[in-house]
């Protein structure tokens, strides 16, 4: 379970994330959408302990990220949007490194690494250096690494970037399986169709503030002011919400 309380991040004069309050329940797949520069990645960085908030706090399965960072991080599997890895390690060595870092027993780490490498179609590349991998392969390796210690919370920043269509289908299926087993997934994405297809609830972030929150169905209803008409797609909802928030800011 993820709990964000009055979460705020200020860079100089810019407020990247402004008083964000949010609860994501166990086994829920939560989608975080918003235009470029809305504060999605900053929020994710604070949730994963990469950034310290200016105000407010983050709790992961009851562990406070500020006070018990190591326990909180142990609960999380993180998939960033850009796959920066150790280029001089092979895929298998990288997974072994992650296993050791998260305290997975070596024999278990090896077994799980083989399982995920096979599952993500990287088994035959496991002995090659990461520097020889394509962007998509690196992304799949990061996913394998994030799942290696069987985290109870998965935080994903733009999961489908660089993946081919079959890998996208595979990831969607995997996310559904994980949530069915009780894993909480917090996912930031620009691909609205993915959010619509997968997420139980969606939060729309605009200029650091949460401007809408609900299931895809609820969002489609609440956007059309005073009307009973339901928007056809999340794309239309997104455009309307961000436009309204933008004009309200300028007013």
Partner 1 sequence: MPERPPVSPRTLTTLLKPRLWSLGIRRDGRADRLSTRHGIRQVVITLIGVLFWALIFTISRRVLTYFKNIELLGDLLAFKLLAMLLVTLFSLLIFSNILAALTKLYLSRDLQLVHALPLPPHLLFAARWLEGTVDSAWTVLLYSMPVFIAYGMVFAAPLQYYPIMLLTEVSLALIAAALSSGAVMLAVLWIPASRIRTLFLVLGVILFIILLVTFRMLRPERLADPEAFATVVAYLDTLQAPNSLYLPSSWAFSALHSTLTRATAFPHLDLALLLSSAGALCGLMVWAAARLYYPGYSKSQTAGLRPLGQGIFSGRGLQRWVVGPQTAIALKEIRSFLRDQAQWTQLFLICALVVIYLFNFKALPLERAPIKTIYLQNLLSFLNVGLASFVLTAIAARFAFPAVSNEREAIWIIRAAPLSLKRFLWIKFAAYLVPLLLLTEILVVVTNLLLQVTPFMMAISTITILLVVPGVVSLAVGLGAAYPNFKAETPAQAATGFGGLLFMMLAAIYIGTVLVLAAGPVYTIMRAGFLGRELVAREQIWVFMNFGLSLVIHLSIILYPMRWGEKRLTDHLQ
- Residues found near partner 1 in the complex (CB under 8 A): 48-52, 69-71, 73-74, 76, 78, 80, 82, 84-86, 88-90, 93, 96-103, 105-106, 127-129, 131-132
Q: How many other C-beta atoms are found inside a 10 Å radius of the C-beta of residue 66? A: 14
Minimum CB distance to partner 1, residue 89 (Å): 6
Minimum CB distance to partner 1, residue 17 (Å): 14
Minimum CB distance to partner 1, residue 163 (Å): 19
How far, CA to CA in Å, does 151 sit from each of 43, 155, 181? 19, 10, 11
25: nearest Cα among 150, 143, 201, 244: 201
Whichever of 50 and 248 has its CB closer to partner 1, that residue is: 50
Whichever of 146 and 219 has its CB closer to partner 1, that residue is: 146
Helix (H) and strand (E) counts in the chain:
9, 10
Whichever of 32 and 78 has its CB closer to partner 1, that residue is: 78
Minimum CB distance to partner 1, residue 188 (Å): 15
- DSSP 8-state code for residue 90: B
Whichever of 79 and 210 has its CB closer to partner 1, that residue is: 79
24: nearest Cα among 53, 48, 65, 58: 58
Strand order of the β-sheet with 201-206 is 76-79, 153-157, 184-188, 29-33, 201-206, 209-214
């Amino acid at each position: 379970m993820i709990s964000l309380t009055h979460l705020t991040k200020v860079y100089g004069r810019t407020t990247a994330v402004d008083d964000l309050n949010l609860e994501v329940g166990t086994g829920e797949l939560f989608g975080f959408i918003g235009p470029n520069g809305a504060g999605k990645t900053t929020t994710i960085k604070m949730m994963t302990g990469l950034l310290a908030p200016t105000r407010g706090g983050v709790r992961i399965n009851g562990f406070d990220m500020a006070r018990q960072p190591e326990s909180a991080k142990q609960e999380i599997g993180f998939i960033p949007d850009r796959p920066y890895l150790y280029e001089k390690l092979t895929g298998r060595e990288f997974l072994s490194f992650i296993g050791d870092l998260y305290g997975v027993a070596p024999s278990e780490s090896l077994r799980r690494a083989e399982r995920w490498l096979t599952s993500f179609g990287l088994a035959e590349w496991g002995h090659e250096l990461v520097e020889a991998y394509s962007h998509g392969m690196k992304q799949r390796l990061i996913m394998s690494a994030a799942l290696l210690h069987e985290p109870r919370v998965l935080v994903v920043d733009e999961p489908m970037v660089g993946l081919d269509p079959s890998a996208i289908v595979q990831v969607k299926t995997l996310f559904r399986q994980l949530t069915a087993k009780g894993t909480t997934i917090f996912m930031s994405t620009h691909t609205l169709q993915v959010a619509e297809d997968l997420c139980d609830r969606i939060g729309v972030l605009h200029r650091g503030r949460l401007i809408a929150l609900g299931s895809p169905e609820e969002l489609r209803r609440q956007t059309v002011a005073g009307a009973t008409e339901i928007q056809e797609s999340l794309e239309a909802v997104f455009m309307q919400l961000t436009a309204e928030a933008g004009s309200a800011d300028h007013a």
